[in-house]
Amino acid sequence: MILSDRDIRKALESGRVKIETADQLRAQVSAEELFTHIHASSMDLRLGNTFKLYEHSKFAVLDPKRPETLGGLMRTIIIPDGEAYLVQPGEFVLGVTQEKITVPDDLVVRVEGRSSLGRLGIIVHSTAGFVDPGFIGTITLEISNLNRMPVALYPGMRICQLAFEMMSSPAEMPYNMKPFSKYQNQVLPEESRLASDPEFMVKG
């Protein structure tokens, strides 16, 4: 069951779902402003200032058995407010939401792109559009440009939408209790930590 606008508001007002600005130097989002981002069955989150790109000239392949190829040499770019990051045709870049989300144990969240950006060719997640119950943190966005023209993205613009789905019962093992919850409490866009999966861990 997907939460309606009225149920999203109730979840926020009660504190069952928390949406906070990740950067404490910024003014906190007022409840009134937050509620303007709520639609019939979803709510919007905004784009943060930090982006990460793979340094493709450093390695020939991204290899989970070589952790240094997955993120150790990613380049970080910080875009000032009011300026744009130009996503080039065919480019893949990690972005992040301005907001941090806290998900209760009985909800899951789906991250979807906005149709207005989709019509420009911007994809905000490759496959990882699913946020587990118990997750706390910002949402890393896997941004791609399918267009043949660059597209300008501005920090603070509404970049994605969240749909909240009720589970049949609270999770027995929510994300915050999971042994390999690699992205809990993330703030910046986080590169892949696939190398820390058990199947790739070095065995003694």
Residues 6+ apart with CB under 8 A from 97: 22, 45, 46, 47, 48, 138, 139, 141, 159, 160
Rounded Cα gap, residues 134 and 164, in angstroms: 13
Q: Which of 13, 32, 33, 142 is catalytic?
A: 142
Residues contacting 111, CB < 8 A, separation 6+: 124, 125, 128, 129, 130, 131, 139, 141, 160, 161, 162
Residue 55 catalytic? no
Alpha carbons 184 and 58: distance in angstroms, whole number: 28
Active-site residue set: 142
